[in-house]
Amino acid sequence: MTRSTPRGTHDPMSPTAAAPPEPPDVDHHDYDDSDTHAAGETIVRRNPDEADTSARQSLADLLGRLGWEGRDAQSVMAGAVARSLAAKQHLLVEAPTGTGKSLAYLVPAAEQARATGAPVVVVTATKALQQQVLDADSPLLARLWPDLEIRLMKGRGNYACLSRVQAIADGTEETLFDEVVDPHVWGELLSWTDTTDTGDRADAPDGVTNAMWSKVSVGPKECVGAKNCQFAQQCFAEKAGIAARDADIVVTNSHLYLLDAAIGGSDETDDSDGKDSLPWSPILPPHRDVIVDEAHKLAETASRVFGVEIRHGRGKTIKGVCKGLVKDEQLDGVVAADDRLLAELLSFTETGPVDPSVGNLNIALDDYLLAVRSVAKKVSGIVVAVTQPKDAEKKKRALNVLGGAIEDLAAVLRAGEDEDNDDVVWVEGDGRRKPVLKMAPVDVGPLLDRYVFSRRTVAMCSATMTVGGDFNAAAEELGLTAGTWDSVSVPSPFDHANNGLLYIPMGRNKPLTRADGTVLPAVEALVPGPNATDFRDRANDLTLRMIEAAEGRALLLFTSWKALNDTTEWLRDRVPYTVLAQGDKPTGRLLAEFMADEQSVLCMTATGWEGISAPGPSCSLVVIDRIPFPRRDDPLINAQRELATKNRRSDFHSVDVPKAARMLAQGVGRLIRTVSDTGVVAVLDTRLGTKRSYNGTLLGSLPPFKRSIHLDEEVLPFLRAIAEDRRDKVPPIGTPTAVETVDDDDAFDGIDEAA
């Protein structure tokens, strides 16, 4: 069985492989780094028992200095992470919200780095979390280790590229925008590149759009490499990379980390001489030890990084960077080929798998590849005088851009032609945005094993790592080999059993006598199964009753945009509270308003399930409309189902149930965010109570709430009591409170309405 090869690493000997005229430079730093860590350098080994004890002690010291109370769960996690890094054993940690997991991994990371003399890389799921480690946690660690160096490492595309800015100023690169841009903001951006110290997009003027930024920055494949760049000494990305080389802890995001891993290759470190050595890294400093936060998202990110996305507009980028090197007519041919591919993709009216080896799609891809190759051949043949470094740089960048396009197009064509290829190719489109041609490996496990786990020691943590209390599904998805990993699940600091109630509106035809003697009557199910025609109406009625009892303060989570829109409109006519809905405003602003107006109701799908945190009285009711099974029409998940069937396993139990369990646990986890939070989670999908073949796994993945099916006797009185308690304390509407913002992720809508 053949496996896909990550972009940037494909086998040039493959029959359909592209032959870029020159291999693109990887995103590496070329300065003298004699004071920094080098690949192959040996690092100190530590005793796992001592590392465990030491990390716990350091954590206790740090908390003591901060005047904070120690928590057993945090100490257990810190010890386990330290032990895993010292023992070179991968680790999976389930650390519920409130554990204090960032300090629980940063303290052992700091100790490991200081003891071994090699940096530890901390990988977060988003750039926002990356910044949080630097802004919030780094000053805390400085209380214990004032000289500890923690550096952020962002991808090259986050920094302005001075070479490109100069090319725009010279007029040697054309800026062809696909959309209308504000000329004033564009001018401000160009001036800013002259004065900024960081070149970081986070510091760029307000109003800069993605389209503008893409013109003044380069990805790793477009950068000509510091050796070839006349701006190397001033280059913002290079300077940030060099600063990170001296760090004890390097904080990066999972996308950049996996890109580094993919380009870095798969050579295993040879420790047979009894010494540990540092594996090479093309982007990050050489390192062996890695900690991954929010690790339940690692496989999904790997699928994107190890895959390919072909978007319309690349033709214009090629025309821009090749301007002056090749005749305009030939460049117009590339733009036309890009347009023809778009026209072909538009003929697919909805998301679905495609075969790139047949029909008009094959012709469009082939034509596009031919057009790009022909330009690449011309550019490659240009002779540049050594006295013309600017021209050499332009040629190099053009070849890098062309090489990237050739590689992606050839990879998609190869996936269609090679029968043994496991990659899935599909068109993703929703009728609103331009369709995108995507390719991804069905199973990222072997790739993660080859590029990450076989070369590094990785401790991974998340609040939702297990499925039904078991780590095996996560280990399998990640490609961890049996015997190479350990696991630890630390208890939640929250009293879920007393502070929260899990309500399922199912029926029971006999009365129930509780252990304390209370007799609860027989009940009728208040909503039918989720596929019944009157499900939405009955679910809305029930939701309204709970919102009235809670006096607002509700977060409603939906599995589709349609359900979100229908219920939002229905509620707005019936409740006296503000009803906020995803899509009306950026997620960060919605959350700020939800927190500020304590009695508001927030309706979310997509990011709402795991991207928001609303601690405190704004959220005493979470309503989940359906079990979030993955969509039946998702091409990648369908391929995973087929693979499971081929391996004689139940596709439903090995693919759908684990994904639903993790997502449901994330959604349910929105309710209790602090020790003082209380409330009800209502899951309106009665299958959670009735489907014996899988409900145990789903329920076993949730916090240990008390469960109830009694609306009038238990759920509504509990909500009313919370509302009563808040009645005199409700601050005036609009009172600002601390808000945790999130990245918007409009692309996510991966939940099945029809499961």
Cβ 239 to ligand SF4 shortest distance, Å: 9
d(CA 686, CA 624): 11
Contact between 235 and ligand SF4 per CB under 6 A: yes
Contact between 25 and ligand SF4 per CB under 6 A: no
Pairing type for strands 519-520 and 249-253 reads: unpaired
Cβ 531 to ligand SF4 shortest distance, Å: 53
* 62 contacts 264 by C-beta, under 8 angstroms: no
Q: Which amino acid is at 433?
A: R
Rank residues 53 and 214 by Cβ distance to ligand SF4 and give the closer one: 214
Cα separation values, 7 from 135, 208, 407, Å: 33, 29, 7
- Angle, helices 254-264 vs 298-305, to 10°: value is 50
Cβ 638 to ligand SF4 shortest distance, Å: 39
When binding is defined by CB under 6 A, the residue of 123, 208, 232, 290 that contacts ligand SF4 is: 232
Cβ 231 to ligand SF4 shortest distance, Å: 4
d(CA 294, CA 465): 9
Contact between 398 and ligand SF4 per CB under 6 A: no
* 199 contacts 344 by C-beta, under 8 angstroms: no
d(CA 557, CA 7): 36
Identify the sign of the CA torsion 356, 359, 364, 367: positive
Cβ 9 to ligand SF4 shortest distance, Å: 20
Pairing type for strands 679-683 and 500-503 reads: parallel
> At 326, which helix (H) or strand (E)?
none
* 426 contacts 354 by C-beta, under 8 angstroms: yes
Rank residues 31 and 145 by Cβ distance to ligand SF4 and give the closer one: 31
Q: What is the DSSP string of 447-477?
A: HHIIIIITTSEEEEEESS--BTTBSHHHHHH
Contact between 231 and ligand SF4 per CB under 6 A: yes
Contact between 240 and ligand SF4 per CB under 6 A: no
Contact between 226 and ligand SF4 per CB under 6 A: yes
Q: Which amino acid is at 689?
A: G
Contact between 120 and ligand SF4 per CB under 6 A: no
When binding is defined by CB under 6 A, the residue of 92, 115, 204, 223 that contacts ligand SF4 is: 223
Spell out the residues 6+ positions from residue 699 whose beta carbon is closer than 8 angstroms to its own. 688
Contact between 238 and ligand SF4 per CB under 6 A: yes
Rank residues 18 and 161 by Cβ distance to ligand SF4 and give the closer one: 161
Interaction mask 460-499, ligand SF4, x per CB under 6 A = ----------------------------------------
Contact between 440 and ligand SF4 per CB under 6 A: no
Cβ 223 to ligand SF4 shortest distance, Å: 3
**Region of 231-239, 324-332, 544-552, 616-624 interacting with ligand SF4 (CB under 6 A):** 231-239
CA nearest neighbour of 6 among 266, 203, 215: 266
Rank residues 384 and 544 by Cβ distance to ligand SF4 and give the closer one: 384
**Region of 221-229, 409-417, 439-447, 727-735 interacting with ligand SF4 (CB under 6 A):** 221-229
Q: Would you state the structure tokens that stand for residue 196, as one six-digit string?
A: 């900024």
When binding is defined by CB under 6 A, the residue of 110, 237, 742, 751 that contacts ligand SF4 is: 237
Cβ 235 to ligand SF4 shortest distance, Å: 3
Cβ 241 to ligand SF4 shortest distance, Å: 10
Cβ 159 to ligand SF4 shortest distance, Å: 7
Q: Residue count at the site for ligand SF4 (CB under 6 A)? A: 14
Q: Which amino acid is at 260?
A: D
Q: Helix H segments across 534-676? A: 535-550, 561-572, 587-596, 635-646, 651, 657-668
Rank residues 76 and 167 by Cβ distance to ligand SF4 and give the closer one: 167
Contact between 224 and ligand SF4 per CB under 6 A: yes
Rank residues 237 and 424 by Cβ distance to ligand SF4 and give the closer one: 237
- 3-state DSSP helix/strand/coil percent for the chain, to nearest 5? 45, 15, 45
Rank residues 150 and 284 by Cβ distance to ligand SF4 and give the closer one: 284
CA nearest neighbour of 356 among 371, 345, 372: 345
Rank residues 125 and 401 by Cβ distance to ligand SF4 and give the closer one: 401
Beta bridge partners of 94: 462, 489
Buried residues in 77-99 as b, exposed as e (16+ CB within 10 A): bbbbbbbbbbbbbbbbbbbbbbb
CA nearest neighbour of 730 among 602, 577, 584: 577
Rank residues 199 and 628 by Cβ distance to ligand SF4 and give the closer one: 199
Contact between 218 and ligand SF4 per CB under 6 A: yes
Cβ 381 to ligand SF4 shortest distance, Å: 22
> At 328, which helix (H) or strand (E)?
helix 328-346
**Region of 230-238, 412-420, 532-540, 665-673 interacting with ligand SF4 (CB under 6 A):** 230-238
d(CA 686, CA 695): 10
Cβ 703 to ligand SF4 shortest distance, Å: 46
Rank residues 161 and 458 by Cβ distance to ligand SF4 and give the closer one: 161
Pairing type for strands 485-489 and 120-124 reads: unpaired
Rank residues 210 and 647 by Cβ distance to ligand SF4 and give the closer one: 210
Q: What is the DSSP string of 660-709?
A: HHHHHHHHHTTS--STT--EEEEE--THHHH-TTTHHHHHHTS---EEE-
- Say which residue the tokens 């899951």 belong to: 683
Rank residues 397 and 438 by Cβ distance to ligand SF4 and give the closer one: 397
**Residue 31 exposed, middle or buried by CB count within 10 Å (0-12, 13-18, 19+):** middle
**Region of 137-145, 179-187, 222-230, 693-701 interacting with ligand SF4 (CB under 6 A):** 222-230
Rank residues 24 and 552 by Cβ distance to ligand SF4 and give the closer one: 24
Contact between 91 and ligand SF4 per CB under 6 A: no
Cβ 164 to ligand SF4 shortest distance, Å: 6
Contact between 254 and ligand SF4 per CB under 6 A: no
Contact between 283 and ligand SF4 per CB under 6 A: no
Rank residues 226 and 550 by Cβ distance to ligand SF4 and give the closer one: 226
Rank residues 218 and 755 by Cβ distance to ligand SF4 and give the closer one: 218
Rank residues 198 and 484 by Cβ distance to ligand SF4 and give the closer one: 198
Contact between 229 and ligand SF4 per CB under 6 A: yes
* 309 contacts 434 by C-beta, under 8 angstroms: no
Cβ 691 to ligand SF4 shortest distance, Å: 54
CB atoms within 10 A of CB 728: 6
* 572 contacts 544 by C-beta, under 8 angstroms: no
Cβ 458 to ligand SF4 shortest distance, Å: 29
In the range 134-193, which residues lie near ligand SF4 by CB under 6 A? 156, 161-163
Where along the sequence are the contacts to ligand SF4 (CB under 6 A)? 156, 161-163, 218, 223-224, 226, 229, 231-232, 235, 237-238
